[in-house]
Amino acid sequence: METTLRGVGVSHGVAVGEVRHMGTAVLEPSAGQIPEEESERERERARQAVEEVAADLNTRGDLAGGEAQAVLEAQAMMAQDPELMADVERRIDGGSTAERGVYDAFASYRTLLAGAGEYMAGRVADLDDVRNRIVARLMGVPMPGVPDSDTPYVLIARDLAPADTALLDPALVLGFVTEEGGPTSHSAILARALGVPAVVALPNAGTLAEGTVVAVDGGTGEVFVEPSAEKRAELEAAAAEREAALAGSSGPGSTSDGHKVPLLANIGGPADVPAALAVGAEGVGLFRTEFLFLDDSKRAPSEEKQVEAYRAVLEAFPEGRVVVRVLDAGADKPLEFLTPADEPNPALGVRGLRTLLDHPEVLRTQLTALAKAAHGQSGYLEVMAPMVADRTDAKAFADACREAGLEAKVGAMVEIPSAALRPRSILQEVEFLSLGTNDLAQYAFAADRQVGAVSRLQDPWQPALLDLVASSADGAKAEGKSCGVCGEAASDPLLACVLTGLGVTSLSMGAASIPYVRAELAKYTLAQCERAAAAARAEDTAEGARTAARAALSGS
């Protein structure tokens, strides 16, 4: 009998297939004691396992490339954290085996992360994965992982670690469903990059029996269990219609009546450029430069290394915009040479621009590298600061850009509600705004972007979030300046129409989403988008806003 379940759709497309569950294993070692004379041997076993796991994660990152590589390299750094290793060795000296020492040290750190709120709690799944890999290696048991199968399937898991998601084979994994996670979790971002339909935050997904046939709609978040022939036909027809629209979609982004909406790509570095070019990205709307800094948490990359990376991206878009976000360190991206280890609530503390203003030499080097990279290039470099709260922040950043001799447009990220409420004040100091809807939702609703239990508050269709977007866009229009969106909200084709109707001037997203957004925008006039935006804002819930916008666009 057909039943319908609803989670959060995070990656477009429809997948129909049999359920296969992520493999599991008991990875809690016994708590037995070892003689003192065996401590050195156990310490060496622990060190070796850590290095092997870190090497494996880096190798997986090299194979995956792009954003996945940065995520996995960050996990490798987590495995090698010197404070964690010191705690492991203390526990071994107290009589624990290597595997038990690792298990307990990670458990202690896990408790700290889980209680830290915001971004840090969102790293718990990554930490658990690193712990499991080290303990499994020490115990000589297989790591839980993607099941072996000769036929395609839909993968079901409690959550997917980045190391698993990054190397999924789309030829075998038709789609995936997880009980946890949110629309901005690592797994969701990587699923979009892979082009694999995915639904997250689906309660009790693990109870779906092995071999059950399900249909996963990564756009709506619906999972149909034992779908009828009619439902399958309906989904397949919708998918075919969508594919036909994609095939006929090319060129710059615009509404059907010619209102231009540049469609840009979010990237983590030069490795992401080919995918962006392949789908016709008109430029880069968000270059996350922090990935350059993750190779070594103890020091910033050299000016020369930065120049090389920035120039490679600028050269790829000789006639387009490349919007570079300067280093966003802190919270879930701690760097040993920049961020304090004992900050009680990192996401609400010294993060982003605040960190850079506390370390002006790091900001100066990055801005100088950007200036050198842009010299002689025909593209349009724009530079923006993360976590701008007010005009004082904006002025400090603009002054730093001028002092570095940077001849580029200077902008500010709108991720803090104060910036969205007073955009005209900030625009007295900078030339454009870019909305980071992931963090803007997190701070507006006090809802950790990585926690599935509060995912409804991270839904970018929340009317209060749309109000903040409208406030920013209205302020930019009044000042005669631009206001783009570079958060994950831009990757939702229907929401892209609403954002356009709210007055947003450009949309930036993962490359895989650009064809979907381009095709959807081309169906409607600007006036239709404006009516859909007004209808969405008139609602009180995210689901109501989504339904109202769809009805307004369809004319019903």
The set of catalytic residues is 186, 486
Token digits of residue 406: 């940077």
Token digits of residue 52: 């092997």
Q: Which residue has the tokens 């709506």?
A: 220
Question: Taking the CA of residue 148 as centre, how many other CA atoms within 13 Å lie in the half-sphere pointing to its CB?
Answer: 2
Provide the pairing of β-strand 222-225 with 213-217.
Answer: antiparallel
3-state secondary structure of 3: strand
Token digits of residue 371: 């200036």
User: Residue 384 forms beta bridges with which residues?
Assistant: 325, 411
Radius of gyration of the chain (CA): 24
3-state helix, strand, coil in the chain (%, to 5): 50, 15, 35
> What angle in degrees, to the nearest 10, is found between the helix axes of 82-93 and 98-114?
130
Q: Is residue 493 within 8 Å of residue 515, measured between CB atoms?
A: no
Q: Is residue 535 within 8 Å of residue 523, measured between CB atoms?
A: no
**What whole-number distance in Å separates Cα of residue 354 and Cα of residue 340?**
13
Token digits of residue 472: 């920013």
Q: What is the DSSP string of 451-487?
A: -GGGGGGG-TT-HHHHHHHHHHHHHHHHTT-EEEE-S
Burial 106-120 (b: 16+ CB within 10 A, else e): beebbeebeebbbbb
At position 428, the amino acid (one-letter code) is: Q
CA distances (Å), 324 to each of 308, 374, 383, 455, in order?
14, 11, 5, 28
Q: What is the DSSP string of 251-263?
A: SS-B-TT--B--E
